[in-house]
Amino acid sequence: MKNNRILIRILFLSGILLIGNNIWGLFVSLRNPDIYIETNTDFENDITLTENELYEVINSANSNPKEYVTRINETIFKSISDYWEVEGADKYNLRVPFHENFLLFFSSYLWPEKFLRYEFADYRKAIERGVGGCSQHAIILSEVLYEKGIKSRIISLHGHVISTAQVDAIDDEWWVLDPQYGVVVPFSIEKIEQDPNIVTSYYADAGYDT
């Protein structure tokens, strides 16, 4: 009987601590300001816009889907740093911190191959953190477009992850979007698969070697 009371007290105190930890996490940002000066990224001056500036574009009018997807694709490119290094897992919260989600935190030690660098399905959390690889960029874009009523899909192409979006529902016109590079290719993935050279000029115009 005494042992049961001790166990109940331990569980009660643990519950209180975990609730307090979660409440604390509500007031701690996942974004480390050092990301604005981080040099170990794939792009020079990789992140130039703030979280608030990204939300201004997200919440802007989207009466013209073609203009909106182009604008939001470019803005995600400028406001989410292309950083996915193991050595920065704790510094930039690629490892979900204890105060954010203690289960994911412990999972990062038990199954580091899956949880050490964790991608958020919730685009708001991904934006708050401000870092991620190609698939995290694509998740943010596709989830934002979904909320705006624009059909979107995430596609993996030979190790690189992009998004596609329906920019004209009447004609069922789809574009390929690459928010990691800030590139928009105004053709469907089916058209590009028929002629892969289509994408060359769009990446070249954005300043990338092709």
Q: CB burial class (10 A; 0-12, 13-18, 19+) of residue 26?
A: exposed
Instruction: Dig out the tokens for 101 from the structure.
Output: 């989600």
Closest alpha carbon to 203 in 164, 177, 173: 177
At CA 130, angle to CA 125 and CA 133, rounded to 5? 100
Q: According to the model, what pLDDT value does residue 61 have?
A: 87
Residues with Cβ within 8 Å of 164's Cβ and at least 6 positions away in sequence, in order, are: 152, 153, 155, 174, 175, 176, 177, 188, 189
Q: Which amino acid is located at 161 in the chain?
A: V
In eight-state DSSP terms, residue 169 is T
Q: According to the model, what pLDDT value does residue 10 have?
A: 62
Task: Specify whether the CB–CB gap between 178 and 164 falls below 8 A.
Answer: no
Question: Mean per-residue pLDDT for 173-180?
Answer: 97
Q: According to the model, what pLDDT value does residue 16 have?
A: 65
Q: Is the pLDDT of residue 170 over 80?
A: yes
More confident position, 205 or 9:
205
Task: Specify whether the CB–CB gap between 82 and 43 falls below 8 A.
Answer: yes
Question: Mean per-residue pLDDT for 122-128?
Answer: 97
Q: How far is CA 81 from the centre of its chain?
A: 9
Question: Mean per-residue pLDDT for 113-137?
Answer: 96
Q: With 0.85 as the threshold, say if the pTM is over it.
A: yes
**Strand 152-157 to 160-168 pairing:** antiparallel
More confident position, 74 or 16:
74
Question: Mean pLDDT over all residues of the chain?
Answer: 90
Lowest-confidence pick of 4-18, 21-35, 53-67, 96-110: 4-18
Q: Is the pLDDT of residue 26 over 70?
A: no
A 10 A CB-CB count for 122 gives: 11
